[in-house]
A = this chain, B = another copy of it.
Amino acid sequence: MTLSGDTAAGRLAIIAGGGLLPSYVAEAARAAGENPVIVALKDESDRRWEGYDHAVVGIGDFAALDGLFNRYGVGRVVMSGSVRRRPEWREVRPTLRILMKVPAAIRTLLSGGDDTVLQMVIRLIEGNGRRVVGAHEIAPDLLAAVGPLGAVAPGEEDRRDIARAAEAAEMLGRLDVGQGAVSIGGRVVAMEGLEGTDEMLERVTGLRAAGRISPRRRGALVKLCKPQQDIRADLPAIGASTVFNAKKAGLAGIAVEAGRSLVLDRAGVIRAANEAGLFVCGIDRGLPAWGLE
């Protein structure tokens, strides 16, 4: 087994929330010669981690996290996967160092936007001499690139929907509310809050069923990274299930921010998109027409 140079700086820990991403990161880490230790977040991580050194830690239990990092000699930390709950006050088990910063740290953990909370968590981890790295640094193949991923490319009307939904998603991100929006026929019909992308797409499916969206208009889902967010945490992600849900919602396709979004199971996403006749593409806010022309 070849150890990467970074490994000398301490073992890699993967803090695993929900969804598919932690598995992809763990596999990519092994493929790169790492021996990651998995910290599965209680009530969030939804797979079993047999075959890896692993432990389960409650959200907000920074004391246990610190103990684990010390025991395994962790030098680098990746945060990956979704975290749906915020800790309750009684669940936060601060370390002595955190206590010195109370109440600012605790207040942030309990009530800030996602981005604010992640910044605080990163600072707390790095304050102990460890380094937080992005999932995309461990698994760079997951990053979306500019342009269509499958056989279908967005048409002119789709590009208009992409531009409209991207404008809305960017604004949502600036407010640290969410990362996604849906435009249909040039009109933003849904914006993602705490409920997440899949539930937002279900809402669009419901609006269609109720006859509130023309069946002749297809539309696009756009997911963007929040402009100010630390890309080491919570990059927007899509997988094959996102494609299925977009199809159910009657959309023409999905656009995600190139270089700042993750495509999980790329082969599965392409297969799902081609079978459904949907486009899936990367877009770049720095390029004319989002790099789509």
Contacts and interface: CB of A to CB of B under 8 A. Distances in A.
Interface in A206-261: 206-207, 210-214, 216-217
A107 to B, nearest CB: 9
A171 B110 CA distance: 25
Contacts of A89: 216
Nearest to A86: B214
B188 A193 contact: yes
A73 interface: no
A interface majority secondary structure: loop
B113 A212 contact: no
Nearest to A215: B88
Nearest to A111: B185
What band does the interface of chain A fall in when counting residues whose beta carbon is under 8 Å from B?
35 or more
Contacts of A168: 175, 177
A203 interface: yes
Contact of A185 (B84, B110, B211): B110
A74 interface: no
Given A191-B193, A207-B195, A111 B216 contact: no
Contact of A85 (B189, B212, B216): B212
A167 B171 contact: no
A292 interface: no
Given A86-B214, A168-B177, A211-B85, A111 B194 contact: no
A120 interface: no
Interface string A259-293: 00000000000000000000000000000000000
B190 A193 contact: yes
Interface in A8-59: none
A113 B178 CA distance: 21
12 contacts: A86-B212, A110-B185, A112-B186, A171-B171, A172-B191, A178-B191, A182-B193, A187-B194, A190-B195, A193-B203, A195-B203, A203-B203
